[in-house]
Amino acid sequence: MSEHERPSKSAISRRSLLAGAAGIAGAALAKQRSANAEEPADKEATQATSDPTKVPGRPASAVGRRSSFEQPRRLVSNSVGGVSRTPLQDLDGAITPADLHYERHHAGVPEIDPATYSLLIHGMVDRPRMFTLADLKRFPSTSQTYFLECSGNGGSAFSGNRRPNLTPQQIDGLLSTSEWTGVALSVLFREVGVHENATWFLAEGMDASVMTRSIPTSKAWDDAMIAYGQNGEAIRPEQGYPARLLLPGWEGNANVKWIRRLELSDRPFMTRWETSKYSDPLADDTARMFSFEMDAKSLITYPAYPTVLNGPGWHEIRGVAWSGRGSIRRVEVSTDGGREWNPAELQKTILPKCATRFGLMWNWNGEPTAIMSRAVDDTGYVQPSVQALREARGIGTRYHYNSIRVWNVGPDGAVTFGDQG
């Protein structure tokens, strides 16, 4: 090769250029994923652009993890005690992964050694007793799937300060569903010999706020449990580890976490948690007290903000419905601002006091509209409009915001949170 034919030292071949560009792009992509995930880019992410049939994957591990491409996160608000919201728009099915279950604390999450844990049941009983965690696990166990919902869930949908850029997570993210395992409270009540005229019991937690609520004993004889398992494992600390009170269908705060004491009585205890809080002011200057049951509600999770539909045509409207009074009988969806309602298809298995998925195929014509859903439970109760709820409760109500949620769809396909139906 002559000197004129030799490539210059500064010359760059097309192959080198492409390889370099690919390397830069790959590094940038890995860096972006790392930033989004708030954790270092891993081997899975760096191999993502390679042929998985040519490169061995990572070996088995003691604890599984999500794909690096899936990064659902709770939305955390560090108010007093802390709040985190479930990413409803990112979930499939009814069950919420335990690490995405919402949180609502009044004094943070305590660390409790299960070896020193105990539950005292006393008061109007024949045989007061202290139960260790091992004692609780000796009784016959039960596993049931139920939702939990904070009584303040959906406040942003009720207030007059509505913002169009709210996601399903921001609106109703204080809702989660798990399979709970534990011992039926009725079993423990029989064990200690609860008196026939004991109509209430005090549930007390062992966190720094010492949450205490008065609960009718009728709930204990019905379906309440002391739960120590969640989705096949021990309850997470933020959900009450090592044991919590579970009252299916009732407002979250009454499901006292880190439960340490149950005292039986013939009257409610009127604690500060049910006088200064968790009482609902009404328009006539009275108040609703002990309004435990969560009313029927539904929420469209797709399409919802910040979704932008990719043009006219068929789209599936998807969402979730639930009721603390029983099972969801039907969900109706309107795609024209509430003028007409069509029945949605419900998931095949419908459980009482459990989240129920629904869907409806919708042929969008490209014109601006509003979509909404309303749930009906097996008591016949129909999810109300926000106007009806305000007329019944007044604008000062602080809990149980179960009005219809509305999503506006613009001509460009952009979906925003809308005025309530």
- Do the domains 103-288 and 297-417 sit in the same CATH topology, yes or no? no
Residue spans of the domains in the chain: they are: 103-288, 297-417
- pLDDT of 396 reads 81
Give me the chain's average pLDDT, please.
89
**Is residue 143 scored above 50 in pLDDT?**
yes
When pLDDT is cut at 50, 70 and 90, the band that residue 161 belongs to is: low
Q: What is the pLDDT of residue 35?
A: 41
pLDDT at 1: 45
Is 297-417 in CATH node 3.10.20.30? Answer: no
pLDDT in tens, 12-70: 444 443 344 444 344 443 444 444 444 444 555 555 667 888 888 889 999 999 999 99
Q: Does the pLDDT at position 136 exceed 50? A: yes
pLDDT-derived band at 156, boundaries 50, 70, 90 = confident
Can you give the pLDDT at residue 14? 40
Largest Cα–Cα distance in the chain?
108
Task: Give pTM, 2 decimals.
Answer: 0.87
pLDDT above 70 coverage of the chain, percent? 87
Per-residue pLDDT of 320-347, as tens digits, reads 999 999 999 999 999 999 999 999 999 9
Q: Residue 98 CB: number of other CB atoms within 10 A?
A: 18
- What's the fold here for domain 103-288? Sulfite Oxidase; Chain A, domain 2 (3.90.420)
- Alpha carbons 23 and 267: distance in angstroms, whole number: 71
Give the model's pLDDT for residue 49: 63
Give the up-direction half-sphere exposure of residue 248: CA atoms within 13 A in the CB hemisphere: 28
**Distance separating alpha carbons of residues 11 and 265, to the nearest angstrom:** 89
pLDDT of amino acid 80: 65
Residue 42 or 390, more confident: 390
pLDDT of residue 157: 84
Share of the chain above pLDDT 90, in %: 76
